[in-house]
């Protein structure tokens, strides 16, 4: 039986003007932005719609922006009885996936996303680090490079995004050493990423403390559909397990290639990228050329899908 799979984007999918067309067209979007503004304590819609870009790309703003955008689209689809049989989200997107699966309510998820963004920003300032993308090496070779570069500073594979494309994360010295080693090993492309810290590495350990306390206070229901989690790439519906994985996620790699492969093995055939941008649609094409993801992030895309 074919199954509908929702994919939810993470950081780097934001853009100035995001969700403005949804806000102008649907009262539900206006209501959710109003609720978000009250909880966040700043005018999220103003930054989403008009920028400045430097403000929108701050981790503490980006994360709520992408979550709210994705949640609005999820709710608009649900109103037309389009809901997921399985869901997954890339890093931050896992919170959107949990909300879509009924594990987290909107306010509870947004409160966690707010804290996550703030905690990651603080951890990035306390333990300066960065990330880099390595293209054209096998994952095993990249992990070997990271082990060797770890003598110089903290560094590990952070995002297994698509075959031949892995992001690494760590200290400035560790990343610099790993980039040089990857070039020497014959990587096609090695490029630093413009990020606010060493995400999905041990340098984010400080962010876990406050987040763990908030997770403990938050109610997680069992999922209406399985959520394929970043940490294991496996499907999970148990609320307690999903909560535990969110804590581990901050310092663990995102196993996106395995996640998508496991969704396909689990019967996923109709993929929707729900939220801003088309990053995950591009990754799906590279992971398995037989499948395409329909992007559903703008009013036009939503109307086209519903018609």
Q: Which of 91, 119, 162, 201 is catalytic?
A: 91
Q: Which of 60, 70, 119, 200 is catalytic?
A: 200
What is the chain's Cα-based Rg? Answer: 18
CA distances from 86 to 7, 102, 192, 237, 276 (A): 9, 12, 33, 10, 19
Is residue 91 annotated as part of the catalytic site, yes or no?
A: yes
- Give the burial class of 24: count Cβ atoms within 10 A of its Cβ; 0-12 exposed, 13-18 middle, 19 or more buried: exposed
**End-to-end alpha-carbon separation of the chain, Å?**
23
For residues 166 and 134, the answer to whether their CB atoms sit within 8 Å is: yes
Q: What is the number of alpha carbons within 13 Å of residue 272 lying toward its C-beta? A: 26
Phi-psi region of 10 (alpha: psi -120 to 50; beta: other; left: phi over 0): beta
Q: Would you name the residues annotated as active-site residues?
A: 91, 200
């Amino acid at each position: 039986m074919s199954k509908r799979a929702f994919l939810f984007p993470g950081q780097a999918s934001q853009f100035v003007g995001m969700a403005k067309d949804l806000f102008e067209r649907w009262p539900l979007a206006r209501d959710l932005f109003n609720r978000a503004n009250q909880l966040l304590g700043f005018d999220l819609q103003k930054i989403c719609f008009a920028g400045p870009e430097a403000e929108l790309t701050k981790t503490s703003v980006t994360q709520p922006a992408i979550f709210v955008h994705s949640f609005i689209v999820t709710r608009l689809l649900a109103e037309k009885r389009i809901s997921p049989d399985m869901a997954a989200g890339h890093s931050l997107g896992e919170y959107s996936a949990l909300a879509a699966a009924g594990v987290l309510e909107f306010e509870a998820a947004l409160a966690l996303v707010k804290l996550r963004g703030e905690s990651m920003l603080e951890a990035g300032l306390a333990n300066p680090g960065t990330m880099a993308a390595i293209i054209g090496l096998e994952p095993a070779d990249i992990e070997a490079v990271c082990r060797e570069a770890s003598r110089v500073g903290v560094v590990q594979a952070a995002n297994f995004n698509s075959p031949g494309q892995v992001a690494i994360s760590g200290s400035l010295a560790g990343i610099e050493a790993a980039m040089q080693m990857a070039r020497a090993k014959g990587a096609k492309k090695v490029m630093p990423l413009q990020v606010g810290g060493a995400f999905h590495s041990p340098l984010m350990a400080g962010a876990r403390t406050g987040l763990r306390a908030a997770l403990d206070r938050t109610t997680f229901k069992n999922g209406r559909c399985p959520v394929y989690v970043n940490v294991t790439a496996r499907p999970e519906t148990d609320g307690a397990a999903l909560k535990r994985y969110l804590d581990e996620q901050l310092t663990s790699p995102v196993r996106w290639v395995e996640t998508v492969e496991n969704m396909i093995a689990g019967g996923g055939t109709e993929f929707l990228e729900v939220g801003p941008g088309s990053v995950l649609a591009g990754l799906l094409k590279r992971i398995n050329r037989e499948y395409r993801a329909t992007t559903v992030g703008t009013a036009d895309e939503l109307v086209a899908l519903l018609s």
